[in-house]
Every structure is written in structure tokens, then in C-alpha cells.
Amino acid sequence: MKMRKLGNNLEVSALGLGCMSMSASYGPPADKQEMIRLIRNAHELGITLFDTAESYGPFVNEELVGEALRPIRDRVVIATKFGFDIDPATGARRGGTNSRPEHIKAVADACLKRLGTEYIDLFYQHRVDPAVPIEDVAGAVQDLVAAGKVRHFGLSEAGVQTIRRAHSVLPVTAVQSEYSLFWRGPEAELLPALEELGIGFVPFSPLGAGFLTGKIDEHTQFDPTDFRNHVPRFSPSARKANLALVEVVKTVAARKNATAAQVALAWLLAQKPWIVPIPGTTRLHRLEENLGSADLELTADDLTEINHAVAKIEIQGERLPEAAMKMTGL
């Protein structure tokens, strides 16, 4: 597996593994022992970056990731997140965001216990808290770094000015936000700012929550607990219209003897050398397929063809439900 650098000095595999879908959001949780095997298989195949969060489950995803990676802890990078107001006893959401410094520090200690580790490699603020100055958030994480509990600071779905303010207090190693051919919002302001500041970018949903694999159409039925049931971009009519995007990817994939998913990920990898996508899966054959993108070379002509074709397509539907959109800085 090729390696990439996030920020100044965090080296990780060119592709990471998003672990959320193993426990939450895409239907019922997968079998824990199978997911432990999958995570360990991912490392054997070259992945070193594993992404989780306290809110995935809540809590159970961190426990899963921690158990899976414990035997190889010194060879992997674990990223987790704070920032929501979750009852530590019940796992119930008590409200929206919570990034008060004392809460951040309490969450860090709880994360360390669930992960079974002495340090968190990359600690993201999951969503910006409008009630807490970002300078106070960065200061709290700085205290955790000084205590040896955290090694790197990250932000998720944060706007450019918030990133700049945080970075002035404590260097931000990585920003995580949605980015793919299905959602190119970061290109306007975020990517230029990250390049200027020397911050890495970790796109989640790099396959458009599965849409860019070509396995979803307007007739696809999602599990009742799948979050995509509530996403405007995944309404049947939007899916039908947005299939034009998938056809572009499939055309290039056929010529390159690759899959649509591999082309979509290779396109992301080709955008910047400091971009590290974190596709998620619960299936070994999909994991292996995704990893094939790291060796797929898209030429300048391939990229031009994709960009020109995609520019003619107007994607239908918002990328998130209205309430979730209000919690992002993008």
C-alpha cells in the first residue's frame, strides 16, 4: 500500500477504513467477530488508518475498533471524534453539540478506555459547536496533547475561517468532510485553504454513500434503519436522475478494466497527494476492490474526460437532511 502524509508528520496508508457502517447508520450492526476479522484483514492488506467515533453506536464502534486493533496497536493510526452531547451512561443524545473543554477531556478519557489504548492518534471535533469558541476547543485538545493522551488534532465538517482560527492555536493535522464525484463542495474554498495551511484532507463517503459503486438505482430498497432513507439525494427520483453520474464513471471503468468504485476512489486520490479517503464496508471482497484503486492510474486525459462529463450533470437533491446540514460549516 502506498503511503501519504496528513499535516506535517502523520504518515498513513493512501486509503483508510471508515468503520462506522460496521455498527451504525447503514442498517443493523454487523456481526462483531466478523468485523474484527475484517479490520485485521484490512491491516494485513496495507491499511494503517482506521476511523471511528464515540457517536457511532454510540460507543460500540470504538469498542469494536479497539478490540480489533489491540494486537497491532503500535502499527496503526486510530482516529476518533468528540463533540456531541451523549449521555455516558445510556448512550442517548441529550442535545446537539457539546465541545466545552471539560466535556472534551472527559470524552477523551472515555474514548481511551473503550479503545483500550493509552493515546488517540487523531482526535477530531465531530461538528463545530457554535456555543464554544474554536480557540477554546483547540486549547482543550492542546492540553490533551501535552498530557500524552492525543497526538494530532482534527476537525470535521468545519468552515475555512474556523479551521484557520483553530490552526492558529494548535496545528490541525487533518480535516474530515464529505467529498466525492457525488459532492464536490470542498473544491471551492476548503481544498485551497488546506493546501495553503499544510493540512491533510480525509474525505468520508468517498463513494457517495455507495451510490458511485453502480449498485444502487431508483428501485433499491434500503433497510428501515438506513440513514439514506432520510437523505434528499437518495430519494427514488433523485437517484434516477443522478445515475447519469454513475454512467460517466462506468464508462471510464470499462476502458480501464476496473470497477466504478475503483475509478471513483482513484479520481479522489488524483486530486491532491494529501487526500486520504476512508471508504467503509462490511465485506472483504468490497475492501479488496476498494484497495485496488490505489494502484489504478488515471491519466490526465481520463481526469479531463471525467471532469468535462460531470460538469454537464446537475446533481439532484441535498447531500444531507436539513437538520444535519445546519450542523456543518460547508
**What are the tens digits of pLDDT across the range 59-89?**
999 999 999 999 999 999 999 999 999 999 9
Per the CB < 8 A criterion, the answer to whether 65 and 100 are in contact is no
Angle formed by the axes of helices 32-44 and 60-69, nearest 10°: 50
Angle formed by the axes of helices 300-311 and 260-271, nearest 10°: 100
Q: Closest Cα to residue 182, out of 262, 258, 257, 268?
A: 268
Strands 93-97 and 84-86 come out as: antiparallel
Per the CB < 8 A criterion, the answer to whether 206 and 278 are in contact is yes
C-alpha cell read off for 265: 476512489
- Percent of the chain exceeding pLDDT 70 equals 100
Query: For 95-122, what is the mean pLDDT?
Result: 97
Give the Cα separation of 246 and 267 in Å (integer). 13
* Options 56, 119, 124, 179, the catalytic residue: 56
Element (H, E) at 306: helix 300-311
Taking 90 as the threshold, does the pLDDT of residue 326 lie above it? no
Query: For 230-255, what is the mean pLDDT?
Result: 98
CA of residue 178 relative to chain centroid, distance: 7
Confidence bin at 1 (pLDDT 50/70/90): very high
Residues for the chain: how many in total?
Answer: 330
At 276-302, the pLDDT tens digits run: 999 999 999 999 999 999 999 999 999
Taking 90 as the threshold, does the pLDDT of residue 324 lie above it? no
At 184-208, the pLDDT tens digits run: 999 999 999 999 999 999 999 999 9
- 56 in catalytic set: yes
Side chain identity at residue 196, one-letter code: E
Taking 90 as the threshold, does the pLDDT of residue 267 lie above it? yes
Confidence bin at 245 (pLDDT 50/70/90): very high
Per the CB < 8 A criterion, the answer to whether 322 and 79 are in contact is no
Query: For 259-283, what is the mean pLDDT?
Result: 98
Taking 80 as the threshold, does the pLDDT of residue 330 lie above it? no
In order of their start, the domains of the chain are: 3-208+268-295 (3.20.20.100)
Side chain identity at residue 256, one-letter code: K
The per-residue pLDDT for 94 is 86
What is the average pLDDT value for the chain, to the nearest integer? 97
Which CA distances in Å does 190 have to 51, 169, 174, 201? Answer: 21, 19, 12, 9
Confidence bin at 27 (pLDDT 50/70/90): very high
- Percent of the chain exceeding pLDDT 90 equals 95
Q: Full-prediction pTM beyond 0.85? A: yes
